[in-house]
Amino acid sequence: MISNELQDGVAAIVIRHRRLAVLRILVHDASNGSSNDGVLLDVLEDWALGCTHAALQTCLRHLEQFGFVTTTLINGRMVVRITQEGHEVAIGKAQADGVQPYDVNCPY
């Protein structure tokens, strides 16, 4: 059985990676700086960082709180746009608390 401490540590690592992955999705050429929550959920699932819609909303609130993304509700979908600050974190030009630092070996 895995201890609660280990489970909490693993969960925290996954959350940091998920936050970076969201930023990386948004800087990808295909996204052109924005996406919706449905696409984000699908890509995160493909990258083995899948989560519930509620967990994604928590992730987006964190990123928005620190000015890395903006969110807008349009026709029942959350539209997420990356900011300049978020772009800098996504490409490794800046680092942020709670977000896995980007490096060239990053798989996403």
The closest alpha carbon to 85, from 57, 65, 105, 59, belongs to: 65
Specify the CATH number for the domain of residue 39: 1.10.10.10
Look at residue 53 and tell me if it is in a domain.
yes
The total domain count for the chain is 1
The model's pLDDT over 35-89, given as tens digits with 9 standing for 90+, comes to 999 999 999 999 999 999 999 999 999 999 999 999 999 999 999 999 999 999 9
The pLDDT confidence band at residue 8, using thresholds 50, 70 and 90, is confident
The closest alpha carbon to 73, from 37, 22, 31, belongs to: 37
Domain extent, residue 83, equals 4-90
Look at residue 102 and tell me if it is in a domain.
no
Look at residue 57 and tell me if it is in a domain.
yes
Look at residue 38 and tell me if it is in a domain.
yes
pTM, entire model: 0.91
Look at residue 103 and tell me if it is in a domain.
no
| pLDDT given for residue 3 in this prediction | 61
Look at residue 107 and tell me if it is in a domain.
no
Look at residue 95 and tell me if it is in a domain.
no
Look at residue 44 and tell me if it is in a domain.
yes
| pLDDT given for residue 13 in this prediction | 94
**Residue 87 vs residue 3, higher pLDDT:** 87
